[in-house]
């Protein structure tokens, strides 16, 4: 058996002592990350019954799981990820890379041609530890999420995307401020203290009136 590294040992110890890991297990959520979305929703009122939601980078499904609960049986949640994801009640799962036009068309078909009221993106690249590599990768993914949001969001729609502060961050926020009536930066309590992640919450999508 391969010897476990010190860093992986620290991660495991932190993981199993994490209050949000325990809460997720107790409440039946698929990941601790759901508590980030719950806090954002409680603060920014992201969902309403009957809404259509697209969740990018959805696996293992915690965000989609919560969104489905919030929008109810008349709503629609589309979960998209390049990784396989186990089915969830009230959630349509599409596996594929949203860079692929065929996958994007599958998303549109899955939501029945409706515009989305909410687009969520908790996507992050596999981190190398080199910020000169990781930051461009993370911004690229955020830009792809934004591009999809522009194509599917209904007027007054909401957009939540994970960002990391660094090169390209300020320009991204400035562009979002032109497209949404309000933009806020949030650091949920469930974000790990060592993580540099921050969430942009855009509300009141202006569509073509930017």
Going from the C-alpha of 38 to that of each of 28, 74, 154, the distances in angstroms are 14, 20, 22
Q: Which residue has the tokens 């729609």?
A: 157
Question: Hey, which residues are catalytic here?
Answer: 162
How are beta strands 76-81 and 197-205 bridged, if at all?
unpaired
Task: Tell me how many domains the chain contains.
Answer: 1
pLDDT digits (tens, 9 = 90+) for 121-141: 998 767 666 676 778 889 999
* Residue 42 is assigned to a structural domain of this protein: yes
Structure-block tokens of residue 183: 């933009």
Pick out the residues of the known binding site: 61, 63, 81, 97, 122
Check whether 32 has a pLDDT greater than 70: yes
Write out pLDDT tens, residues 50-59.
999 999 999 9
- Asked if residue 143 belongs to a domain, the reply is yes
Question: Any alpha helices (H) in 45-130, and if so which ranges?
Answer: 62-71, 101-110
Is 8 a residue whose pLDDT tops 70? no
Q: Output the known binding site for S-adenosyl-L-methionine.
A: 61, 63, 81, 97, 122
Q: Report the mean per-residue pLDDT for the chain.
A: 87
The range of the structural domain enclosing residue 83 comes to 32-209
Residue 115 lies in a domain: yes
Per-residue tokens: 204: 């009141």
More confident residue, 9 or 25: 25
Q: Is residue 174 part of a domain?
A: yes
pLDDT digits (tens, 9 = 90+) for 86-95: 999 999 999 9
- CATH code: domain of residue 76: 3.40.50.150
150 in a domain, yes or no? Answer: yes
């Amino acid at each position: 058996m391969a010897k476990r590294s010190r860093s992986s040992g620290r991660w495991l110890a932190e993981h199993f002592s994490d209050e949000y890991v325990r809460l997720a297990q107790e409440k039946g959520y698929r990941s601790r990350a759901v508590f980030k979305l719950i806090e954002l929703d409680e603060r920014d009122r992201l969902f309403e019954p009957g809404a259509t939601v697209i969740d990018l980078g959805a696996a293992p499904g915690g965000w989609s799981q919560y969104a489905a609960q919030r929008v109810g049986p008349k709503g629609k949640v589309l979960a998209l990820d390049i990784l396989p994801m186990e089915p969830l009640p009230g959630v349509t799962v599409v596996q594929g890379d949203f860079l692929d036009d065929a996958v994007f068309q599958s998303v549109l078909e899955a939501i029945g041609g409706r515009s989305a009221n909410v687009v969520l993106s908790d996507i992050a690249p596999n981190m190398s530890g080199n910020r000169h590599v990781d930051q461009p990768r993370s911004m690229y993914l955020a830009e792809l999420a934004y591009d999809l949001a522009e194509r599917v969001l209904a007027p007054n729609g909401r957009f939540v995307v994970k960002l990391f502060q660094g090169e390209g961050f300020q320009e991204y926020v400035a562009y979002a401020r032109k497209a949404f009536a309000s933009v806020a930066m949030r650091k949920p309590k469930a974000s790990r203290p060592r993580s540099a992640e921050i969430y942009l919450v855009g509300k009141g999508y202006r569509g073509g009136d930017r």
